[in-house]
Structure 1
Amino acid sequence: MSSSPDLPDRAVSALEGVVVLDLSTSVAGQYTGRMLAMNGADVVLVEPPGGTPTRRQGPRAHGDSFLFRHLNQGKRSLVHDPGSPADRRALRELVSRADVVLRDQGSDPPDGAGDRLIDCVVGDAPGSGPYGEWRFSEMIHQALGGAMKTTGAADRAPIYGIGARASYATGTTAYISVVSALYERRLSGSGQRVDATVFESLAAMGQNLVSQYSYNGTHGTRQRYPGFLALLRCADAWIVLFVIRNWPTVCRVLDCENLLDDERYRTSADRLHNWEEIVAVLQERAATRRADEVVAACQRGRVSAEKVSSLRDLLDSEQWRIRQVMSRVSGPDGAEPAVRSVFTIEGADTEVRSPSPRLPAAPAESRRRSA
């Protein structure tokens, strides 16, 4: 069993001293490990000789995928060959000394677990339910969970968005479950098994869709939002306006103050009834204006407005710079950009301190190394 170099000493963090073995292979499981690492846990990613599957998920640069880098910053890596008796013994010893194990649904409980271990199982759907044997993609999750039913234009196929939103939500759920179990262990002295599934996390992301159906039998659709919402194409980008208040400001910003004297749009009810006509006028005026200019003027007048930004726009945006959304972490093999902590704890370090681990070379005769 081979290892990458130790992490540098950490500042005091909420999970200082907690040892986590990350045996998971999914986005959800490895994101759980990243969040634990961000809050001070010593997280060891246990990989097969060819590397964990997320290393090979594109897009890639310099060998490893960007997804792998994001999910595994702040961790160390061990190569474990399940066919090696020496590696199996070494892993059993590591498990006996770990506080938390993260593993995939369907995998066997780890050998060597003591009664204080938090055994966190992350999967697609509850094993006891009708989908327990299914394996999902993000798109299938969102289709089956109902999220896609309300996403997209009514006259086109539904869309699921981008990335792995449901999996990240599941990683967050699993992280909260692990931290809760660690806190409970301080009181009882005992570990426990905790489970998190993408299926259940996605249901929670549905906001009030389930409650709505339970109360009155209705459900969300992809019909046009019945309110003062406008998606406008400016000269350089799209913007979104929500004009529930400060109607005169919108008219002044987009040079259509003549609408203020039009009896068809005098009251809020009038404007809602004729909203499509109003949007057509707003679109005509916005077409020659720059998005940032329109958004800034609307926001000064307390109108809800925002630019539809690309990822490159966000990386370069003033808001992300001021909020310090991104940072860089350095290690022996260079530096990587990193998403900063999703929340902070007063007086504690909540940031990853090292890049994602390189895949260690497995030696011919595996050697034991403690976490």
Structure 2
Amino acid sequence: MLEGVTVLDFTTLLPGPYASSRLAELGATIWKVEPPGGDPARHMHPQKKGTGIVFLVHSQNKTLLEINLKTEDGQKTVRNFIDRVDVLLEGFRPGVPERLGIGYEQLNKINPRLIYCALTGYGQSSRLAHAAGHDINYMALSGMLAQHLDSQENPILPSVQWADLIGGQGAVEAILAALVERHRTNQGRFLDISIFAQLQRLLKVHTAIWQATGFSRGVPQLTGAVVCYHLYQTSDSRFVALGALETKFWDNFCRALGNPQWIPHQFSRADPENSVYREIRDVFSIKTLAYWSDFGHEADYCLTPVLSLPESCSDIFSPD
């Protein structure tokens, strides 16, 4: 779909490389520029044959170049082929690209059709624009981390770098929109993508609910607080996910288990004081994960096993 589109990527670590890897998957040609010594992700652990796996995954289908932008020769190299580039992606703090000779205004004079995407933690003009940060910081400040709490209401750091990945995906969306716009106008543009702002956008519904009700954890019935949308433990200490929000799925589930008396209590609380919850919990607890996995395939209940990553990648549980 993006065949013929060339991307010059100056980013390192995860957000930008993830973004350019998505563009590569869509057919774009990616020239990844690394500083002397390489992208720091090369040296991160875990590694495969001495190279960071994060780097290896997000460097597939890219042409790797080493350019020292702190030298005149390096800057000249970029200027010499910028007219062949459709998209430039960078993750420097504001002001740094200009000092390196690759700022938007500097390159726009050479290539007015250039789409220039600055992917940073806090954007170009916010109060924190020049602050250092990583995934953990963006999640902490945006309110996202406060959505992941343990039973003691303490924040839990997810093992997936959601801020970096969502920021990268936001950059991809903006770049694709700019490519469509350029088809009409024949002009490029500057894209200011803030990872922090991307997270805040994801929490727009949470924010609206908080402003209206004072509840800051999103849609209450989607937090596992009701019996039809909850995680239940099986006899082998595994878990299944029941997501029977629609009446037809809940009806199917209740009738398949021979308990139509549960139907009126679809959105009752998943609380031990609720007798319906206790009954459902006890039903799940006497059968294995394998049993409930098979049961979930028999009809539309929106019932699935909670899988480990290796299980999800295996043929046993493959949706194909």
TM-score by length of 1: 0.72
Aligned twin of 2:36: 49
Q: Does 1:209 align with 2:210?
A: no
Deviation at 1:281, TM superposition (A): 4.1
Answer yes or no: is 1:268 the counterpart of 2:257: no
1:191–1:238 Cα change, 3 Å: same
- Note the residue ranges of structure 2 that are not aligned, 5 or more in a row: none
Correspondence list, 1:1-371, <5 A: 14-106=1-93, 107-109=96-98, 110=102, 112=107, 113-220=110-217, 225-228=224-227, 229-234=229-234, 235=236, 237-242=238-243, 245-246=249-250, 249-250=253-254, 253=257, 268-269=264-265, 272=268, 276=272, 277-318=275-316, 320=318, 322=320
Conserved 8 A contact 2:12-2:40: yes
Number of equivalent positions:
301
Alignment RMSD (CA, Å): 2.9
Between 123-132 and 299-308, report the one with greater CA deviation. Answer: 299-308
Q: What's the offset of the Cα at 1:210?
A: 1.7
Deviations 1:224-277 (A, max 9, x none): 743113422221622122455546845865xxx5x66xxxx6662498268524
Bigger relative contact order, structure 1 or 2 (CA pairs below 8 A, ≥6 apart)? 1
TM-score (norm 2): 0.82
**Using the alignment, how far apart are the partners of 1:266 and 1:103 within structure 2?**
55
Equivalent residue letter for 1:237? R
Letter in 2 for 1:232: Y
**In percent, how many aligned pairs have the same letter?**
20
Other structure's SS at 1:108 match: helix
**Aligned 8 A contact 1:142 1:160 in 2:** no
- Structure (1/2) with the larger helix percentage: 2
- In 2, Cα distance between equivalents of 1:243 and 1:321: 19
Q: Unpaired segments of 5 or more residues in structure 1?
A: 1-13, 323-371
**Deviation digits for residues 305-353 of structure 1 (CA, Å, limit 9, x no counterpart):** 111111101110455462xxxxxxxxxxxxxxxxxxxxxxxxxxxxxxx
Superimposed CA distance per residue, residues 104-160 of structure 1 (whole angstroms, 9 cap, x where no aligned partner): 142314155422211110000123222222222222222211122232334241224
The one-letter amino acid paired with 2:35 is: P
1:270 & 1:212 partners in 2: Cα distance? 22
Q: For residues 240 and 84 of structure 1, what CA distance do their matches in structure 2 show?
A: 56
- The one-letter amino acid of 2:126's match is G
- Please give the secondary structure, in 2, of the residue aligned with 1:16: coil
> How far apart, CA to CA, are the structure 2 residues paired with 1:202 and 1:52?
25
DSSP-derived class of the 1:176 partner? helix
Check conservation: 1:230, 1:279, Cα contact below 8 A: no
For 1:87 and 1:268, locate their aligned partners in 2 and report how far apart those are by CA, in whole Å: 69
Q: CA deviation at 1:175?
A: 1.3
SS at match of 2:97: coil
Match of 1:351 in 2: none
Post-superposition Cα deviations, 1:53-82, rounded to whole Å, max 9, x if no partner, equal 222222211122221122221111001123
Deviation of the 1:291 alpha carbon: 0.7
What do residues 32-62 of structure 1 show as CA deviations (whole Å, max 9, x unaligned)? Answer: 2112211222111000121112222222111
Q: CA deviation at 1:218?
A: 4.1
Instruction: Kindly provide the amino acid, as one letter, of the partner of residue 3 in structure 2.
Output: E
Q: For residues 182 and 271 of structure 1, what CA distance do their matches in structure 2 show?
A: 45
Q: 1:269 to 1:314 in 2, by over 3 A?
A: closer
Q: Which residue identity lines up with residue 53 of structure 1 in the other structure?
A: P
AA matched with 1:145: S
Name the amino acid aligned to 1:296: D
The structure-2 alpha-carbon separation of the partners of 1:47 and 1:190, relative to structure 1 and needing over 3 Å to count, comes to same
Question: What is the CA deviation profile of residues 191-233 of structure 1, one whole-angstrom value per residue up to 9, with x for unaligned ones?
Answer: 1111211111101222511222344554227987431134222
Between the aligned partners of 1:218 and 1:285, the Cα distance in structure 2 is 31
Is the contact made by 1:250 and 1:298 (CA closer than 8 Å) also made in structure 2? no
Pair 62,238 (structure 1): closer, same or farther in 2 beyond 3 Å = same
Letter in 2 for 1:152: L
- Give the Cα separation in 1 of the matches to 2:262 and 2:78: 73
Whether the aligned pair in 2 keeps the contact of 1:149 and 1:222 (CA below 8 Å) is: no
- State the one-letter code of the partner of 1:200: A
Kindly provide the amino acid, as one letter, of the partner of residue 272 in structure 1. S
